Amino acid sequence: MSADFQPANPNYHQEVERILQAAPFARALGLQTVEVAPGYCETRLPVREDHQQQDGYVHAGVQCTLTDHTGGAAGATLIGEGQLVLTADFKISLLRPVLGKELNCRARVIKPGRSLIIVESDLFADQRWDRLLARASVTLAVVDKRLA
């Protein structure tokens, strides 16, 4: 399920693990890693009651967080040592009201770059891969850690 990309940093798993484990907001939300590969990341999120908006659906903010964070991890597989990614632009099309026991997110780099990385991040529920719930476009700025 990996894209055909060459990581710039052979130890890219370190930075991606850091993103996936060390981010307090993603951890508080309950995000779990499923798979990481060059240019690719898949995560899952067990849905809790406190993820809902006022009508019982999963809040758009949860969908944004999951697709953005997974997208950032996918992008971080391709950056150099001593660099990090920051989301510069984020756009999501929320295609259907979201219900389910578990959200699934698959993010794929569609354009690597030295200063900008473009990722597409898709949202599903309960592993129903034929039923796209939301599609996000994440534009990541690649920044030197010393300058961030």
Residues contributing to the site for its own copies (CB under 8 A): 18-19, 22-29, 49-55, 57, 59-62, 64-66, 68-69, 72, 84, 86-97, 110-111, 115-116, 118, 120, 132, 135, 137, 139, 141, 148
| Cβ proximity to its own copies, 8 vs 23, nearer residue | 23
Minimal distance, residue 119 CB to its own copies, in Å:
10
Q: Smallest gap, in angstroms, from Cβ of residue 67 to its own copies?
A: 9
Minimum distance of its own copies from residue 99's CB (angstroms): 12
- Please answer whether residues 136 and 74 qualify as being in contact, where contact means their C-beta atoms are separated by less than 8 angstroms: no
Separation of alpha carbons 41 and 9, rounded Å: 16
Query: Measured between alpha carbons, how far is 126 from 80 in angstroms, rounded to an integer?
Result: 34
The torsion angles phi and psi of 46, rounded to 5 degrees, stand at -65, 125
Phi-psi region of 145 (alpha: psi -120 to 50; beta: other; left: phi over 0): alpha
Give the dihedral of Cα atoms 136, 40, 82, 148; nearest 10 deg: 10
Judged by beta carbon, residue 69 or residue 106, the one nearer its own copies is 69
- Of the two residues 38 and 137, which places its CB atom closer to its own copies in the complex? 137
CB 27, min distance to its own copies, A? 8
